[in-house]
Amino acid sequence: MKNVLLFVLIILTFAPLWAQVNVKKYNESQLVVAQNKWDSLIVKDITLYTSYGSTRKIDGNVMLKKKDWDIDVGSFQVEFVKADVKYIDPVSSEEKIQTLKLKMKSKWVNPFGERIRCQAITKKGTQCSRYTTSRNGKCWQHGGD
């Protein structure tokens, strides 16, 4: 019992030192950023960096002021390697930046509305044979416009 209480005391002592913002999950088209401790954490913006130095900034005001933020990073096939999350620390009310390491590829978007082959993968594991002009690169059957 004494060991359990000591362990809980150690955890409570070092809990504020842990990172306040982290990557909860990421996949082809989205980055979900989660906070560890406070529901009132305000993310100001997130800057995503590619391996060759280009950046993409996402305004925090667009995101929900809740525990998780689902951030759409859809653009050309770009791999993001790091993200700087600028947030307001709820304890000190100071603006802080935390860097997150990523290995994440964005979803391809058809920016010009030209006629292209659907980017969806069928149940057989092959690319869809339909053509589309949808900006998300998918035909009507796979969620395109």
Q: List Cα–Cα distances, 121 to 62, 118, 144, in angstroms.
A: 31, 9, 13
Give the tens place of pLDDT for each residue, 70-129. Answer: 555 555 556 778 888 887 777 788 888 888 777 776 655 555 667 778 878 888 888 888
Tell me how many degrees the CA angle 78-44-54 measures, rounded to the nearest 5. 25
Nearest to 73 by CA among 120, 27, 134: 27
**pTM confidence score:** 0.48
Enumerate domains of the chain plus CATH numbers: 18-105 (2.60.40.10), 109-145 (no CATH)
Give the tens place of pLDDT for each residue, 4-40. Answer: 666 655 555 544 444 455 554 444 445 656 555 555 5
Question: Rg (Cα) of the chain, in Å, rounded?
Answer: 20
